[in-house]
Structure 1
Amino acid sequence: MAALSHHHDVGRSSKEHVETSNKGLTDETFIFSPKEERRLRRKFDFFILPPLTFMYLCNALDKGNVGNAKTDGWDKDINLTGNQYYILVMIFYVPFCLFGTPISLLVKRYSAARILPLMMVGFIFAIRFFLGIFESAMLPGVVFYLSTFYKRDELASRIGLFYAAASIAGAFSGLIAFGVFHLEDPKYHSWQFLFWIEGAGTVSFAVFAWFWLPRSPSTWWLLSPREKAIARARVLSDSSVTVDERLDVRDAFRPFKDPMYWFWALISLSFGVPLASVNNFLPQIVASLGYSTIKTNLFTVAPNIVGTVALLLFTFSSDYFRERSIHVCIPLATAIVGFIILGSIDVLEHRQVAYFACFLLTIGAFAPSVLVSAWYSNNTPSESRRAVVAAVMVALANSSGLISTNVFRAKDEPKYIPALATSAGFGGFCLILVAAVGTYMRFENRRRNIAQGVNITAADVDTAALGQGPKSPDFRYMY
C-alpha cells in the first residue's frame, strides 16, 4: 500500500492511511491494511456503541416517561390542572438548552467516558427542572465522543445506531408501561412503579459505564499499541486536525464567525420542533384516536419501531454515499406529510389513515437530528470546535421543545390542530434551508476546484491538513 502525504492526488478515489503528530504532518508514514482497520472498527462497534446506546436509552426513557405516565392519570394524581402538565414538560427544556454547552466543555476536558455516567446518576434524583441539566450534554457529548473514534463516512451511521435508542425508547417505554399499568397495588400507583423500574436501570448502568468506557482510543486498555496507532491515523486522515487536542475555550467558539454555522443553527432550531412534537406528544396524538389507556401505549410501539428502522436506513445510506443534505430533505418531507394528514382529517372517522400518519411522523422526525449532527461535525475538523458546535446546535434543537410544548395546549385536545400546523411549518422551513445549504456547498466545492485546476472532494483531503477549517485551500465541504 502506498504511503499518503497531505498533498492530495487529483481524482483519487480512496484514501490511504497515515500516522501524523499533533504538531502537523511529518514525512513518516504509518501503513496498515484494510483488514486491520475493519478489525479495529469492529471493536469500536461492539465495545463502545452498545454501552453508549443503552445510556441514551436510559436518557430517553427518563425524559419521556411522563408522557406514558400521563396516560395512566399521573397528572391527575398529582393534582395538575389546565395547562400545568404542558408547562411541566416545557420547564424541562429551559436548563436542557442552557447547560448543554458548558457541560460539553467538561466532556471535552475530562472525556465523555467520565462526565456522562455522572450525569446519568443525576437523572433519577432530580426534579423535572434539574433533570434537564443532567441530560443536557448527553447527545452532544456522545456525538463528539464518537467523532474521536470514527471517520467522517462512518459517523452518521454510528450516531444513528446510538440515536436509535431514543426512538426505540418510545417503543420500550410503551411496552414497559403496557406491562406496568396492569399492576394493581393498594398503596402505590402504577405510574410510580414505571418511574422506579426505569430509574433503577439507569443508575446500575451508569456505574458500569464509568468503569468500561475509555477516555480516548489512545488510553483504551483493550487496544494494542498498533491498534492505538491505527486509530490515531484514521482520525487524522478523515476526522480531526489533531488528536487529543487541548481545550482552548476561546478558539472553540471561533466557528460561529462563519455564516455557515448560523445556517446550521437555524436548521437545528427548525427540525427540532417536529422532533420534539413527536418525542413528547406521540402518546397524546395516538390517544386522540379514541383508544383506551393500555391500547394507546401499545399502539405507540409500532410507529417508533418503524421510525427507528427508517433512521438506520437513512444514516447508513448517508454514510455510504458520503452525502448529507438530500438525506435530510427526504425524511423532513415525510414528516410534513404526516402532520398535514393528521391536521386535515377527522381522526376518529379515519382512524387507519390517522394511525398511518403517525408512522410518517416517526419516519420523518428522527433521522434529521442525526444527519445534521453528522453534517456539521464532518465539516468541523478541530476537536475543541467540534465539541462546542455540537453542544450549541443540540441546545438549539432542544430549545425547539419550548415551541412544541407551548403549542400543544389542553384547550386544543384531542386534535391539536395549531400544534400540528406549527410542526409542519417549521419542518417546511427546515427543508428549504437544508436544500439551500446543500446546493451552496456543491457550487462552492465546484468553484474551488475550478479556481485550483483540480477535481477533488472532501474524501480526497486529509483532515490533518485543514488547520484553518473552511479557510484552508484544500477544504471541501462534505454536503
Structure 2
Amino acid sequence: MASSSPPPSSLDDTTKAAAVGTVDEKNKLQGYGSAPDIVDEVTRVVDHKAERRLCRRFDFRLLPVLAIMYLFNALDKGNLGNAETDGMTDDLHFKPNQYNLLLSIFFVPFVIFAPPFSMLGKKFSSARVLPILMFSFGAFTLLSSATHNFGGMFALRWFLGMSEAAFFPLVIYYLTTFYRRGELARRLAVFYAASNIANAFSGLIAFGVFQIQGSSLPNWRYLFIIEGGVTVIFAVFAYFYLPRSAAEAKFLSEDEKALAFHRIQVDSSAVVNEEFRFREALGIFKHPTTYVFLCIEICLGVPLQGVALFMPQIIARLGYATVKTNLYTVAPNVTGAVMLLVLAFCSDFARLRSPFIVLGFLFTFAGFMIYASIDNVKAELQVAYFATFMMTWGTSAPSVLLSTWYNNNIAHEGRRVLLTSIGVPLANLMGLVSSNLFREQDAPKYMPALITVAAFGATGACLAGLLGLYMWLDNKRRDRRDGVTIRARDIPTDRMRDGPSSPEFRWFL
C-alpha cells in the first residue's frame, strides 16, 4: 500500500469482523473506507493506484493460467468434429446418425453433474476442484485415442461430459471472488476468448496432424493423444499454482489481502467466502428474473453449440478439401475472440450488459440468415464465408456477458454459484438440439438447422432487450420511491444479500 493512507474506515462492525476473520489481521481495512454515510464513497477505494496494482497482479497471476485451462477444455470438448472430418466414423464403423448420438450424449451428464460438482467447488475451493476436473477430461480425451468401436467412444463421451460439467461455472465464481462487478466482463472475456482460440487452434492442430504420413495409426487418433496428453500435464501444474483465495495468495502482502477483501465485500459478495447452504441458495428461484435469464441461456445455447460442433461441416459446404476445411475454421474463430473482447471491454466501460448481449444475438441472427439465403455458395463464396465470421461474433460475446450480468445482480455467493451452475450447463444442453438439427440428410446446406438457429438468436435478442428495459424501469421506480437517484455501483453488496427484495437494491443493467 502507499504510505499516505486515507482516514479510518466507516465500514460497520460486522463487515470489519468478517474481514478480520478472513485475512486474520486486525484493522487491515482501516485504510480503505470513507467518511460516514457517504454511500458513493463506501463502494470505492481511495487509493486508486493500490487498487490498480492489485488488479494487475490478479490479471498476470490468474487469467493466463485460467485461459489456458479453458483452451484445453474447449479443445477436448470440440475435437470430435475435427476427427470426424478425417474418417473417424468410417474407422469405427459407425451406423447412420451414431455420430450425432455421440455429440448428444455429452450434454446429458454435462447438465446433471454441473450443480453438485459446482457445490463441491464452493465447499472445497474452486482452485483445487478445477485442476482435478481438468485432469479428468484430459485423461478421457487421451483414452479416446484407444477406442475401437462406437460403444467405447460413447462411454468416454459420457465421462467427458461429466468431468467438464462444472468447469465454466466454477471459473466464473472463482473470478467473482477476486474482481469487482464492473471489472468482471473483460476478465471473463479474456478467459472465454480461449474458447474461440481453441476452436481456431483445433483447426490448426488438425491441419498439422492430418499431414502425418506413413503412420500405422489413423491421424485422428494422434489428435486425441496430443490434446489429451498436454491437458493432463497442465492440470498438475494448475493444481499447485492457483491460490485458493486472495487471503491465501502468497504473492500478496497483508495490506493487499485486506484491500482485496474490501473490494469484494462492497462490490461483489454480501458475505465474502460465505459457507454454502443449499436451502438459502434455492432462494434465487423466488425471483422471476431468474427464469428469464435461464430462457436467454437456452436461446444462446443453440447457436453457441451449433457453431462449436458444426463449423467444420458448415465451411465444408464451401467446397474445400478436408485439410483446407479445418484450416479455414481458424479465421472466423479468431475474429470471434476479438469481437468478444471488444464487446466485453465496451460493456465494462459503459457498465451496461443488456445492449451488448442484444447486439451479439443480432450478429448470430444475421450470420445464419445470410448463409441460409445463399443458394450457390461457389458463386458467392466471399459472402458465404463472411457469414461464418458473423456466426462466431454472435455466439461468444453473449455467453460471457450473460453470465456476468446475472452474477453482477446476485450478491449472495451460494445463489450465485447455484444459478451459474444451472444456467451455463443449460446453454450447453442445447447441444442436444444443435446436434440433431444438423442432420446428414440435410447436408451440405443444412437449411432447417440454419433457420432454426437464426430463430433462437432473434428470440434471445428480444428477451435480453426486454429484461434490460424492465430493470431500467424498475430502477427508476425505486428512485422515485426513495426520492433519490442511486446507481447499482453506489450500493455496497453487503446490503443487497436478499436481492430485489432489499429496499436499497438497484439492478446492474
TM-score in terms of structure 1 length? 0.95
1:130 pairs with 2:131: no
1:282 is matched with 311
CA separation of 1:322/1:6 partners in 2, compared to 1, >3 Å: closer, same or farther?
farther
Structure 2: how far apart are the matches of 1:111 and 1:139? 14
1:464 to 486, 491, 494: 494
1:58-457 to 2 correspondences below 5 Å: 58-126=72-140, 127-346=156-375, 347-457=377-487
The structural deviation recorded for 1:81 is: 2.9
Match of 2:271, SS? Answer: coil
Structure 2: how far apart are the matches of 1:5 and 1:460? 15
Q: Deviations over 1:76-129 (max 9, x none)?
A: 111123211111111111111111111000110011111111111111333111
Query: Does structure 1 retain, via aligned residues, the 8 Å contact 2:412–2:497?
Result: yes
Structure 1: how far apart are the matches of 2:256 and 2:214? 54
Match of 1:22, SS? Answer: helix
Q: Deviations over 1:341-400 (max 9, x none)?
A: 111112233221110100000111110000000000000001111111110111211111
Q: Which amino acid aligns with 1:77?
A: D
Query: Does structure 1 retain, via aligned residues, the 8 Å contact 2:9–2:30?
Result: yes
Q: Deviations over 1:32-59 (max 9, x none)?
A: 5111111110111000111111000010
Q: Which amino acid aligns with 1:464?
A: D
Q: Which amino acid aligns with 1:37?
A: E
The structural deviation recorded for 1:302 is: 0.4
Moved more, 178-187 or 54-63: 178-187
Q: Which amino acid aligns with 1:183?
A: I
Query: Does structure 2 retain, via aligned residues, the 8 Å contact 1:19–1:230?
Result: no
Q: Deviations over 1:389-417 (max 9, x none)?
A: 11011121111111111111111111111
Q: Which amino acid aligns with 1:51?
A: V
Q: Deviations over 1:118-141 (max 9, x none)?
A: 111111333111100000111100
The structural deviation recorded for 1:469 is: 1.7
2:51 is matched with 37
Query: Does structure 1 retain, via aligned residues, the 8 Å contact 2:19–2:258?
Result: no
Structure 2: how far apart are the matches of 1:391 and 1:282? 26
The structural deviation recorded for 1:5 is: 4.5
Q: Which amino acid aligns with 1:448?
A: R
Match of 1:426, SS? Answer: helix
Match of 2:411, SS? Answer: coil
The structural deviation recorded for 1:322 is: 0.5
* Structure 2 residue runs without a partner (length 5+): 1-5, 21-25, 33-45, 141-155
Q: Which amino acid aligns with 2:488?
A: A
Structure 1: how far apart are the matches of 2:319 and 2:92? 24
The structural deviation recorded for 1:21 is: 3.6
Q: Which amino acid aligns with 1:22?
A: A
2:18 to 16, 22, 27: 22
Q: Which amino acid aligns with 1:173?
A: S
Structure 2: how far apart are the matches of 1:315 and 1:6? 31
2:152 is matched with none
Structure 2: how far apart are the matches of 1:370 and 1:20? 33
Hey, which bits of structure 1, 4+ residues long, moved more than 6 A? Answer: none
Query: Does structure 1 retain, via aligned residues, the 8 Å contact 2:179–2:268?
Result: yes
Structure 1: how far apart are the matches of 2:8 and 2:456? 48
Q: Deviations over 1:214-261 (max 9, x none)?
A: 111111111111111000000011101011111111111211111110
CA separation of 1:428/1:4 partners in 2, compared to 1, >3 Å: closer, same or farther?
farther
Moved more, 343-352 or 91-100: 343-352
Q: Which amino acid aligns with 1:358?
A: T
* Structure 1 residue runs without a partner (length 5+): 8-17
Query: Does structure 1 retain, via aligned residues, the 8 Å contact 2:363–2:394?
Result: yes
1:13 is matched with none
Match of 1:241, SS? Answer: coil
Structure 1: how far apart are the matches of 2:215 and 2:262? 61
Structure 1: how far apart are the matches of 2:89 and 2:372? 26
Query: Does structure 1 retain, via aligned residues, the 8 Å contact 2:19–2:261?
Result: no
Q: Deviations over 1:297-317 (max 9, x none)?
A: 110000000000000001111
Q: Deviations over 1:424-457 (max 9, x none)?
A: 1111111110010000000000000010001111
The structural deviation recorded for 1:30 is: 3.4
Q: Which amino acid aligns with 2:101?
A: I
Query: Does structure 2 retain, via aligned residues, the 8 Å contact 1:6–1:465?
Result: no
The structural deviation recorded for 1:203 is: 0.5
1:10 is matched with none
1:14 is matched with none
Structure 2: how far apart are the matches of 1:22 and 1:470? 24
1:52 pairs with 2:66: yes
Query: Does structure 1 retain, via aligned residues, the 8 Å contact 2:296–2:463?
Result: yes
Match of 2:179, SS? Answer: coil
Structure 2: how far apart are the matches of 1:84 and 1:413? 16
Structure 1: how far apart are the matches of 2:7 and 2:446? 61
Identity %: 48
Structure 1: how far apart are the matches of 2:94 and 2:474? 54
Relative contact order, higher structure (CA 8 A, sep 6+): 1
Query: Does structure 2 retain, via aligned residues, the 8 Å contact 1:335–1:424?
Result: yes
Structure 2: how far apart are the matches of 1:196 and 1:415? 32
Structure 1: how far apart are the matches of 2:332 and 2:60? 27
CA separation of 1:21/1:430 partners in 2, compared to 1, >3 Å: closer, same or farther?
farther
The structural deviation recorded for 1:2 is: 6.3
Q: Which amino acid aligns with 2:272?
A: V
CA separation of 1:51/1:80 partners in 2, compared to 1, >3 Å: closer, same or farther?
same
